[in-house]
């Protein structure tokens, strides 16, 4: 059997005296979408940053069978794209120039974007329905528009693995759905493998093909949404009282109010 696109084996992260991740195992097949969920402080963002090589870790993380530690930063940036929860959006930069930052791993030192880079960026903006925004400063965009631009920069890297940290944070429901629909379309069309942390469990139940539930830095459940988002798991790890409905259109979570005292 071939290696998965991403394998995380026995990965632990300690920051200061705090254990943030503990012996995490994860295997993500090529072209799949795995959603990482868990309560606040579970280690979701740290796991993504470990995959990027941004935090020191023990254990092994490999991409297509190659240890990420063996990849030069430029090679890693060509293969892995990362959209942080709160991306740095340079003041005064236009949408197209921000998208072109994704081509940096392919450019020689001190060289500017080539014609081929600009054509690729224009094509990505067209696919994401951002052509009319190309010259707009980033600060003039709405939340949903900014998220699409962040995706545009990531896609300009032409990655095989896309890491998304809370891509729907601060978005209303409609814009959150639009962003996740776009991610799924790009995953199918381009064969990109997606790993995303998600706070909204209703959305997590609908979009990723598999979920990994972290609690206290450890994997406590993994698999299909119906197997992970059980009433017992929601009560144990989220202290939530909810009814979970599994149907042909996926998993739906219905929060239930605790009956008031009589």
Beta strands (DSSP E) in the chain are: 6-15, 18-28, 33-37, 58-63, 66-67, 80-83, 161-165, 193-197, 210-215, 218-223, 242-247, 250-255
Mean pLDDT of 173-186: 92
Average pLDDT over residues 254-258: 87
Q: How confident is the model at residue 1 (pLDDT cuts 50, 70, 90)?
A: very low
pTM for the full predicted model = 0.92
- Per-residue model confidence as pLDDT tens digits over 61-114: 999 999 999 999 999 999 999 998 888 889 899 999 999 999 999 987 777 788
Per-residue 3-state assignment (H helix, E strand, C coil) for 108-148: CCCCCCCHHHHHHHHHHHHHCCCHHHCCCEHHHCCHHHHHH
Our CA dihedral for 45, 104, 138, 123, rounded to 10 degrees, sits at -110
pLDDT number for residue 25:
97
Q: What 3-state DSSP class applies to 166?
A: coil
Query: In this predicted model, which residue has the larger pLDDT, 91 or 135?
Result: 135
Furthest-apart CA atoms within the chain: distance in Å: 72
- The fraction of the chain above a pLDDT of 70, given in percent, is 99
pLDDT, one tens digit per residue, over 139-178 is 999 988 999 999 999 999 999 999 999 999 888 899 899 9
Q: Which fold has domain 6-255?
A: Rossmann fold (3.40.50)
Domain boundaries, the chain: 6-255
Please tell me the predicted confidence (pLDDT) of residue 88: 86
């Amino acid at each position: 059997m071939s290696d998965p696109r991403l394998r995380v084996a026995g990965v632990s992260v300690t920051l200061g005296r705090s254990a943030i991740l503990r012996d995490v195992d994860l295997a993500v097949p090529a072209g799949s979408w795995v959603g990482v969920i868990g309560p606040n402080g579970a280690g979701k963002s740290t796991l993504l940053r470990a995959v990027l090589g941004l935090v020191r870790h023990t254990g092994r993380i490999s991409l297509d069978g190659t240890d990420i530690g063996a990849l030069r930063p430029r090679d890693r940036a060509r293969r892995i794209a990362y959209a942080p929860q709160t991306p740095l959006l340079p003041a005064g930069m236009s949408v197209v120039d921000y998208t072109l930052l994704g081509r940096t791993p392919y450019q020689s030192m001190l060289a500017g974007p080539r014609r081929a880079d600009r054509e690729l960026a224009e094509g990505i903006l067209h696919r994401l329905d951002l052509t009319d925004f190309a010259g707009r400063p980033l600060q003039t965009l709405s939340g949903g528009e900014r998220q699409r631009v962040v995706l545009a920069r990531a896609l300009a890297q032409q990655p095989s693995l896309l890491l998304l940290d809370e891509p729907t944070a601060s978005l209303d429901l409609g814009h959150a759905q639009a962003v996740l629909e776009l991610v799924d379309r790009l995953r199918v069309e381009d064969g990109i493998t997606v790993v995303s942390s998600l706070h909204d469990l209703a959305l997590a139940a609908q979009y990723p093909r598999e979920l990994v539930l972290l609690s206290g830095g450890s994997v406590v459940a993994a698999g299909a949404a119906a197997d992970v988002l059980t009433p017992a798991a929601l009560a144990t790890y989220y202290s939530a009282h909810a009814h979970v409905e599994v149907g042909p259109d996926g998993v739906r979570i219905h929060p239930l109010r605790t009956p008031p005292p009589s």
